[in-house]
Structure 1
Amino acid sequence: MNLDWLINSTELNNFKCVAGKSNLNNKILSVNVLDNPDVIRWIKKDELVLTTGYIFKDDTEAQINIIRELKETGCSALAIKIKRFFETIPSIMIEEAEKVGLPLIEVPFYYSFSEISKTIYNAIYSQEFNENLLQYNIINTLSSIFFENKGIDVMINELSHFISKSIILMDCEYNVISASFTPEYEHLVNGIDLPKVSSVGTASYISHTEISDTAYTNLKINYEIFRFYIITLPNFTGMLCILIDDTELTSPHKMLLEKVKSIISLEITRSDKIKTISNSYHNFFFDFLISENKKSEKEILEICNFYDFDYTKKRVCASFILENCENDQHRNKIISTLQKAISNTFRDHQNLFLCANNNILSLFLFYKLEQSNIEAVNNTYNIVYDFYNKLGDSISCTLHIGISRCHSGITSIRTAFRDTLNCINLKKHQNINEPICCYSNKHEYHLLSEMSEASLMKLCEDTIMPIIEFDKDNNTNLINTLKVYYLSKFNCTDTAKKLFLHRNTLINRLDKIKELLHGDFSDNDKMFSVYLGICAYEILKH
């Protein structure tokens, strides 16, 4: 129902649109009455606003402001009853409504607001009843298909026909279980063979205020890329993928899909078409890790229980990120090789969990609660370091490895994974050559990176700004000299070797640094602040 329907297709006669005629397709989802300026803050999007105009009848400024404020609310239109306080709607309101694009409706004096509201709400309730009836019919149809053992293909065909969308049903490894295409997409099916589907990047999750466990993502079908609306089926038995073309899925259809997903999941389980998944390798669990979609502790608990992820213990995450692979096939092969190598290497390690997507493989190692965080991280580093050395040249691409802090508790599972990404990003920014980077070894950078840009700049100004300005004016790099000197524990010999400098050259540089900082290197507290300033400067640069 929209404004055009209200004006031209109801028993209400002589309604007239005097401004904003180009927006007569505006939806009407509810009705509100404007009898006080404060009501505007409660007006909702797509709401028809009715008024007699009493609150602004003698105030031209208020008339203009009312139009502007209502436009900002996203309401459907403002409908003003005439012959009550206005003979006709003021021209200044018509001009402003036309200017901002707010439909302005002239309502005959002989219709009460209750009559108008009743007409609209009767239509809304009738539409909702019909939608519920249609939903009941399709749910009843799918249930009958299930109990009559007609199979998953018949079920998906019926659902596709009902929502007028192409549907692909897959397991978690992107193996197609069933598919049904609308006429314009039938070319994707080659004879009786099911289409080949592969993931293109990672899922882009919708807001957590929407229906849970859904996402929009791109999938490749026979070399063509399409956008899909994805629903994860109960118990992670598969994915229901609806191809999104020129028109989005309607809200009733989304609600319907949520209702029928349990029936589809039951049919998949019974049909034996679903591929048995190894508990050590799960794309769905990885989607949970990368998702910004908020989940309650109960939801996370269900995911952990399904995948046998031991949330009761401490954990350290190590992520392996691939770069510079020749192509998708090469990358997938390496991911598979890594997974098998880790499974074989850590076969005796009872507390192990693996998950992956296209170019990242994440390994979780679990530890007893009584073990210290330091011990858990050091043990993980040693295990991963030995594993990396054994790989040798078998991985023919660039491999970055990040190790998280030690975490505990069910809500910090994602945090451990994000630790690994953060330290790998830091490694790239600092051009660190070591393949393995540990979050705990660079705590100062991670803490500083949470500060605002202004705070970081203030830290630089209070500690090392004279050196920054000198380097800029003289094309030198005293900042790096000071950093290496600090990390070398103020040992001139070690610093000179690392910088490939003659000792006298280094001493000259250090003397200049002392001059710029107005002090020497004897105050440990001051030098630590200077080092933090260097870290802040490096973060700002990148």
Structure 2
Amino acid sequence: MWFTVEDVLGMDVMQGSDVIAGRDGLGRNIKSVTVLDAPDASLWLQGNELALTSTFPLIKRRSGLQTLVEELVARNVAGLGVKLHRYMTALPPAMIAKADELAFPIIRVPDHIAWIQIISPILALVLDNDVQHLIRSEEIRNQFTRQLFSGAGLERLMALLRSLLNMPVFLISPGDAHTLLLPQDTTSADKVQQLLRSAAVPAEHLANYPGVMRKRDDGLSVVYMGFDQGTNPHAYIGAMETEEQADPTALQCLVHARDAISMSLLQRRASISIAREKNNEFVQTLVDANLSAAARKAHITRGREKGVPLHDRYLAAVIKFHNLDEHALRAATSLFHDKPNIEDVLVSSMDGARFLLLIPDTDAAGFQIDGGVACIERYIAQVSEVQAFPDWNAGISQPNAIIHLDRAFEQAEYALNHSLKSGRKCQIKLHDETGLYRLLSHPSIQNDVGRFVEEWLGPLMAYDRRRNARLVATLRAFLDRNGSYRETARALHIHHNTVRYRISQIYALTRREILNSQLRLQYQLALVLHDMTRERESEAEGRRL
């Protein structure tokens, strides 16, 4: 423990002293002792001193001594010892009240005690206390260093911290896709992350421990330290305070644990980076269109010999995220490489925040039902649980034999480009859907395409232009979800009554039963042709610019 004002009162030399104000602040830490020899001497204090005065320097400030208390508290002075006999026989009531209010201890010292009788033993005890802290701190540091040099991973280092603190401990590093709470408790982990990220809850900086902070809200109290914010934002290590607050020894453990785990994270990132580079090289070779069939077979054989779990058939998906900063991209990369690989999915990071996923086409995968859309949505949702991404687009290939993964990659890229050209975000496009585009994009039929779109969607497009509405988008979502108002509302992020109103407008404008099986096909074809028309217009505009 640190040496405190209360410890000073227990010294033999302080017999006859008594606390006349600020008793609630007796736990303030003392690191030094000084004598106030001028009315403005508080300007030269550094903090954690026990200030002593004969009150002679205070006479000139007699009417405003409450402001002196405020100055001393602002400079984190531990307390004030005064002799009330020769110059001032009592302190002003306003000063006493202010000291009580700010929990700043003021001690009346017997007049016969010389300052040196107080200063020397206090400094000796402070130095002895500092030595004990250094010894204890070195012992703690050595425990973490030994674990680190023995090859201990993050889990073992955090287990050591847990055993030393006897408190629940946590490590949160979004950029490394790593969240660890010991003992494991998903609910508590979520609450801790919400508390640490809440701008509405102020952080309290703890004296004597630079970088250590505390946050308290709704019965939850945590002490924590951040890692390097420049490379690892929102990354913290800390402990959940239970019945009692963390003591100085616990805070020392936290500081040394942060240093050791920072090194462990750097080592882990280096190892992961090397593994990912090898993995990227392997996957990129698998989908290389310039590779001969014989070379591809040899590459597959080498992969199996090295223990890569390869399957006979795969579905390829290319996912592109938009507007990711460096930290979000690193988090996405970590999650895409960590999560899908558990299911034998091969992952490659590509340029421009794009990711290639090669997903085994097994009997249990169920790709024949939706072409793999649900699977890709699940992976994107797993990524978004940790990092909220603004927008994305994706393309999915047909299932292909492993020997033809170059074809699967080409199909996925083609489907992704169609998704991007549509202008609609958070959309997955299947390669099977692009066949209709190729069939209907011939220049010779474009006049007929325009008339067909106008015939079936013209009133809705005109209404959207006049009212800045979204009837065409609502019709598309409504048909895609088999006429379900609530599913359509969820997809468009609006109330289901708004969907009902828009559908009634569509009925009124078209005078057709849009869910009629024959008419529904016409509307779906018109929507596809409408997308194709918009893509051609966007491309033409791009060429003009």
The two structures have a TM-score, normalised by structure 2, of 0.43
> Which structure's CA Rg is the greater one?
2
The two structures have a TM-score, normalised by structure 1, of 0.43
Could you say which structure has the higher helix fraction? 2
